[in-house]
Amino acid sequence: SSFVVHVAYIDTPESHGVLVCFEDMTEREQAAQMRRDFVANVSHELRTPLTALMGFIETLQGPARRDDKAIDRFLGIMQTEAARMERLVRDLLSLSRVESEERVRPREPVDLSGTIGSVLYMLRPMARERGCEIAFDPVEGIEVPGNADQLQQVFTNLVENAIKYGGAGNHITITIETLDKDVTLRAPGVAVRVRDRGPGIDPLHIPRLTERFYRVDTHRSREMGGTGLGLAIVKHIVNRHRGRLRISSTPGEGSEFMVILPRWTASQG
């Protein structure tokens, strides 16, 4: 670690002396390094589809100009690449929004089962397309203090991941369970578990999954349309809601993403 040393000479009628102050720069340097890495990652993630787009535009202007088949195929690829850039920009904006509002506590009562229900409604086509079954038993009347859009985003990202990485014959279960006095929350809470029966995640990777752009398998994530930001967004939103995210997995059996949130109590109304 490194230090900056501040020195001040004190010369007043009451006292004389030197004040020496050591400032630990490690944390500040780490933050600066993280910012640099982030910018480098974003640039790289944007440049990959951009390079592809530029290449295809050039080909369409030149050699493939009159080749209808090639034109169709290249436009298809260009659309995929442009959609990838769009998703990345969308996720970056979400992340920056939740980060900049870090200190504002969301306090609307949000109906948890209703929120998860609408997430599942929207993801049903994607699940069906991949032959994936989702089981969810709603529990009526459970509310959490929060922001409905953000909580919807949390469960969208988790269920989307379970569908994307769950593999063939996947079966996802979502459960809600109330916690009377959760030890970590020190208040009445609620736990939502999103469980899949996919190939699971090596425990080695688990602590890093919520880092921005961290992926276990970059190629697979790209192929699935991932941006590498989904779980970073989840973690931020859950933190803003004074909640916890716990990830556990048994390789070969599946993974479980558990979100613990404080419950809305009558005194908050």
Q: How far is the CB of 265 from ligand ADP (least distance, A)?
A: 32
For the chain, the straight-line distance linking the first and the last C-alpha, in angstroms and rounded, comes to 48
**What is the rounded distance in angstroms from the CA atom of residue 62 to the CA atom of residue 85?**
25
**What is the rounded distance in angstroms from the CA atom of residue 254 to the CA atom of residue 200?**
4
CA angle 205, 207, 212 (to 5 degrees): 85
Nearer to ligand ADP by C-beta: 181 or 219?
Answer: 219
Nearer to ligand ADP by C-beta: 95 or 142?
Answer: 95
Q: Tell me the three state secondary structure of residue 192.
A: strand
Does 226 interact with ligand ADP (rule: CB under 6 A)?
yes
Q: How far is the CB of 130 from ligand ADP (least distance, A)?
A: 13
Nearer to ligand ADP by C-beta: 146 or 228?
Answer: 228
Nearer to ligand ADP by C-beta: 236 or 263?
Answer: 236
**Dihedral (Cα; 101, 182, 186, 204), 10-degree rounding:** -60
Does 162 interact with ligand ADP (rule: CB under 6 A)?
yes
**Pairing of the two strands 171-182 and 133-136:** parallel
Binding segment for ligand ADP among 7-15, 25-33, 132-140, 156-164 (CB under 6 A)? Answer: 156-164
- Are 189 and 179 within 8 A, CB to CB? yes
Does 165 interact with ligand ADP (rule: CB under 6 A)?
yes
Residue ranges that bind ligand ADP, judged by CB under 6 A: 157, 161-162, 165, 196, 198, 201, 209, 215-217, 221, 226-232, 255
